[in-house]
């Protein structure tokens, strides 16, 4: 490879032309094929057993996520203006091509089960908007006496009513999202305020903010990195060439995504920031070596300097790029698509940055000339300076480094045990953002915007869910969950229909708001409902043969803690259900989110273990010594522990964003170790003196590692300006990673290399 790179020095312009032509082609592909993935279900592996079953259950019971439109009037909803708005907005939503008419539920479309002289009747609450006070008051009383509607479609303070418009997963688009927002906003008046929430709205908002965030962040990170590079390299030419490397590598990463028709996920928007911060590392090490070479040989020609730079630096640059790519490729162990694709294409960008660093930078030097370097006396370079004193101090007081490291590890392990996983998509937004505040408003007034669907399956036992003892058990479970968990607003199932029918058939007496005692009575009520109302309404809660039912729990939070707390209580009833031959399974977006979070954790653990194993093997092969492989892994293991310990102490959860931490910790942190060990080995063979080796290594690689760490930290700190809190958390954690990796390499690893007496005979 060294010979190939030297040959390219003879054709510097050709290197740039080829790079620009290919990049132009990839940019065209990006313009044509790039798309943002808005369906959060597409973030998950569709062949996972939990998702396969959930999809089947969604078909059985027509389970879909809904857009929730809340109509608020602080003067109360029981007036002609608000009721007319409810009616007109309901009808407008029903007319949209993306929404089935029957899938829009509101007080205007809901059925009211009532008793009459001849039995049972099912009728609308109102068809025409009531005008007189008597009719409005009658409507108010009908709603208040119906537990299936009161508190579900109308808030208990009677100031808010909602419309739920269910849509299929493949229907939602950015255009539809905008259409919904424009439509609902057109109904607002001085008295009436419209709030829009629901999972599809979360998807649309994320799809809108993600690219906007990337467009805002990329210029900032480019400016910050360029300024820091200029301050460190003291050369406009060097800064421009290094920035060209990260520009082309980022373009190639996104071009490859477009080439393979891979969509852009919310987390993908961080790839440019990641590659800009990481991609400059190779350039920093190349120019750092070049500066030291020119300080020693100020009269060297640009070709001599370029050849020396390639000769001495191509191996560590290739090694660090491969190990960094391994850190990201290890994310392939994750079953979560955004994380998997993030790993693949970030690794591709890292390798592209390696190629461009080894080709464009030497070519640029040959075309534009060498950077100016301040002359420094040779004795000051090799024998004096802060780097030498620092190395000597670390070796002299190595016991302090060991004790401090041990204490940090213990503290980190304690913090590690506090780490939790968060499946919430709402937590990706600011707490004071419109979408979070709207969700909070609806949760305060209604059961909740998040659904957990419990599927109770009696196998081949027909009519199992017509038995009173089974229905009573279901009802008991619903009541316990609603009473024990404040996070659960309400639940809904076949039992709600049965208890409502039993009550209205017994003169609306509250003592009859229970499950009937006999199979015959249950069967009779169901027959009456089918004759009086729309039997298709039951399709959402029970199958045709009454072998399966769908129990829907509405939760006021979509994070995994809320969903797990509900499932914990459900599991206490599993033995009782098994006595009736019934098994409990789960479906819907809420449960998928929970499985999603479990997959994040599994992928995180596998990714970290796999990347560490591969890195140790690669380092062992590169340096032909298993001890070196193990020593090189020490700083990144400590860094990973500190990162997760910090997350635990600061209550920062694992999410699709922060789950990237392990690969970044390994991928970037190992660079410092590789450069340091390579230089240590070279100096050891040249000097034969262990103390002088440590000092010279610190002066050469320590300096470059410091520059590298400062630039990467500056790049990732830009994420603190992201609109997404998890991105800000990741930026802070990665910056902490880089700092601890940097410190660990220059202290702990130096102590281990010194104490191990590697590359030296016993002295």
Three-class secondary structure assignment of 353-405: HHHHHHHHHHHHHHHHCCCCCCCCCHHHHHCCCHHHHHHHHHHHCHHHHHHHH
pLDDT at 628 (0 to 100):
87
Whether 225 is covered by a domain: the verdict is: no
Do 453 and 583 lie in one domain? The reply is: yes
Half-sphere exposure for 329 (CA within 13 Å, toward CB): 15
The first and second tokens of residue 730, run together, are 């990741």
> Based on the domain organization, do 193 and 276 belong to the same domain?
no
Is position 245 within any domain? yes
356 and 256 housed in the same domain: yes
In a domain, 557, yes or no: yes
Q: How far apart are the first and last CA of the chain?
A: 37
Same domain assignment for residues 249 and 374: yes
* Res 718: pLDDT: 85
Residues 663 and 713 grouped into a single domain: yes
Counting the structural domains of the chain, the total is 4
26 is a domain residue: yes
Q: Are residues 516 and 486 in the same domain?
A: yes
Residue 218 located in a structural domain: no
pLDDT at 452: 92
Q: pLDDT at position 533, please?
A: 66
How far CA 532 is from CA of 112, 463, 513, 516, in Å, comes to 11, 21, 20, 19
Q: Same domain, yes or no, for 374 and 389?
A: no
Indicate the residue among 184, 203, 222 that finishes a domain.
Answer: 203
Helix (H) or strand (E) holding 455: strand 450-457
| Alpha-carbon span 130 to 123, nearest angstrom | 16
What is the block-wise mean pLDDT of the chain (763 residues), using blocks of 10 residues?
Answer: 75 90 91 76 78 89 88 94 95 90 91 80 89 92 91 93 84 79 93 90 77 81 85 86 91 92 82 81 84 84 89 85 84 83 91 92 90 59 66 87 91 90 78 87 88 93 93 95 91 93 89 92 89 79 94 89 91 95 90 80 79 85 86 86 90 78 73 84 85 85 80 84 84 87 89 80 44
**Domain end among 162, 187, 203:** 203
- Domain boundary residue, one of 593, 609, 642: 593
Which residues, at least 6 apart from 735, have a Cβ–Cβ distance to it below 8 Å? 712, 713, 716, 717
Sign, Cα dihedral of 171, 173, 176, 182: positive
Q: Residue 389: inside a domain, yes or no?
A: yes
Q: What is the pTM of this model?
A: 0.77
Do 375 and 328 fall into the same domain?
Answer: yes
Strand partners, 123: 112
CATH of the domain at 715: 1.20.1640.10
Return all residues near 30 (Cβ < 8 A) that are at least 6 apart: 251, 254, 255, 257, 258
288 shares its domain with 407: no
In a shared domain, residues 91 and 189:
yes
Q: What residues make up the domain containing 2?
A: 1-33+234-384
Question: Residue 426 in contact with residue 200, Cβ under 8 Å?
Answer: no
| Residue 316 forms part of a structural domain | yes
Asked if 676 and 726 sit in the same domain, the reply is yes
- Residue 209, domain member (yes or no): no
Question: Are 642 and 510 part of one and the same domain?
Answer: no
C-alpha–C-alpha distance, residues 742 and 638, integer Å: 11
Grouping H, G, I as helix, E, B as strand and the rest as coil, residue 689 is coil
Name the DSSP class of 616: H
């Amino acid at each position: 490879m060294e010979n190939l790179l030297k040959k390219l020095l003879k054709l510097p312009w050709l290197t740039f032309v080829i790079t620009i032509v290919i990049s132009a082609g990839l940019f065209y592909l990006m313009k044509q094929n790039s798309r943002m993935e808005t369906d959060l279900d597409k973030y998950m592996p569709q062949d996972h057993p939990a998702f396969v079953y959930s999809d089947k259950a969604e078909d059985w019971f027509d389970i879909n996520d809904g857009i929730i439109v809340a109509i608020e009037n602080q003067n109360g909803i029981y007036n002609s203006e608000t009721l007319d708005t409810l009616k007109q907005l309901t009808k407008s939503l029903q007319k949209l091509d993306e929404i089935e008419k029957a899938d829009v539920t509101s007080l205007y479309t809901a059925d009211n089960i009532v008793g009459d002289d001849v039995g049972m009747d099912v009728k609308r609450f109102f068809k025409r908007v009531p005008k007189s006070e008597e009719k409005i008051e009658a409507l108010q009383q009908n709603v208040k006496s119906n537990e299936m509607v009161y508190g579900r479609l109308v808030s208990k303070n009677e100031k808010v009513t909602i419309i739920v418009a269910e849509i299929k997963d493949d229907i939602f688009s950015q255009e539809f999202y905008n259409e919904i927002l424009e439509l609902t906003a057109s109904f607002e008046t001085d008295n009436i305020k419209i709030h829009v929430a629901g999972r599809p709205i979360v998807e649309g908002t994320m799809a809108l903010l993600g690219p906007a965030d990337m467009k805002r962040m990329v210029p900032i990170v480019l400016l910050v990195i360029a300024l820091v590079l200029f301050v460190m390299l003291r050369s406009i030419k060097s800064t421009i060439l290094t920035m060209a490397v990260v520009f082309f590598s980022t373009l190639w990463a996104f071009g490859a995504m477009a080439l393979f028709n891979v969509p852009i996920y919310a987390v993908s928007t961080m790839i440019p920031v990641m590659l800009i911060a990481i991609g400059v590392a190779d350039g920093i090490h190349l120019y750092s070596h070049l500066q030291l070479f020119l300080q020693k040989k100020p009269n060297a020609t640009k070709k001599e300097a370029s050849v020396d730079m390639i000769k001495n630096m191509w191996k560590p640059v290739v090694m660090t790029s491969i190990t960094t790519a391994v850190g990201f490729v290890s994310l392939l162990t994750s079953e979560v698509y955004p994380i998997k694709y993030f790993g693949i294409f970030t690794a591709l960008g890292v390798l592209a940055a390696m190629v461009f660093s080894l080709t464009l930078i030497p070519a640029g030097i040959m075309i534009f000339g060498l950077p100016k370097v301040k002359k420094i006396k040779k004795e000051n370079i090799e024998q004096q300076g802060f780097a030498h004193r620092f190395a000597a101090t670390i070796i002299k007081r190595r016991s302090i480094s060991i004790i401090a490291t041990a204490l940090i590890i213990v503290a980190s392990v304690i913090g590690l045990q506090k780490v939790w996983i968060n499946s919430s998509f709402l937590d990706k937004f600011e707490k004071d953002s419109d979408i979070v505040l709207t969700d909070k408003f609806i949760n305060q007034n209604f059961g909740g915007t998040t659904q957990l669907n419990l599927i109770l399956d009696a196998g081949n036992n027909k009519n199992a869910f017509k038995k009173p003892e089974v229905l009573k058990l279901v009802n008991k479970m619903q009541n316990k969950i609603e009473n024990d968990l404040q996070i659960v607003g309400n639940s809904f199932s076949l039992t709600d229909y049965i208890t409502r029918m039993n009550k209205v058939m017994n003169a609306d007496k509250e003592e009859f708001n229970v499950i009937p005692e006999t199979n015959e009575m249950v069967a009779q009520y169901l027959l009456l409902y089918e004759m009086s109302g729309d039997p298709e309404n039951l399709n959402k809660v029970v199958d045709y043969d009454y072998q399966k039912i769908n129990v829907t729990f509405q939760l006021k939070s979509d994070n995994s803690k809320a969903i797990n707390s509900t499932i914990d209580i459900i599991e206490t009833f599993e033995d009782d259900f098994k006595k009736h031959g019934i098994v409990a399974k789960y479906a819907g977006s809420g449960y998928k989110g929970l499985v999603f979070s479990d997959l994040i954790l599994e992928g995180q653990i596998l990714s970290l273990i796999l990347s560490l194993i591969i890195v140790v093997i690669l380092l062992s092969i590169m340096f032909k010594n298993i001890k070196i492989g193990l020593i090189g892994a020490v700083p990144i293991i400590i860094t990973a522990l500190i990162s997760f310990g910090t997350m635990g102490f600061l209550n920062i959860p694992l999410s699709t964003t922060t789950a990237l931490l392990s690969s970044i910790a390994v991928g970037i942190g190992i660079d410092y170790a590789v450069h340091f060990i390579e230089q240590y080995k070279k100096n050891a063979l040249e000097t034969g003196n262990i103390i002088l080796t440590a000092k010279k290594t610190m002066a050469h690689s320590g300096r470059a590692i410091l520059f590298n760490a400062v630039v990467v930290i500056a790049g990732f700190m830009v994420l603190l300006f992201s609109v997404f809190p998890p991105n800000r958390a990741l930026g802070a954690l990665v910056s902490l990673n880089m700092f601890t990796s940097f410190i660990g390499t220059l202290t702990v690893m130096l102590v281990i290399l010194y104490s191990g007496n590697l590359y030296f005979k016993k002295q």
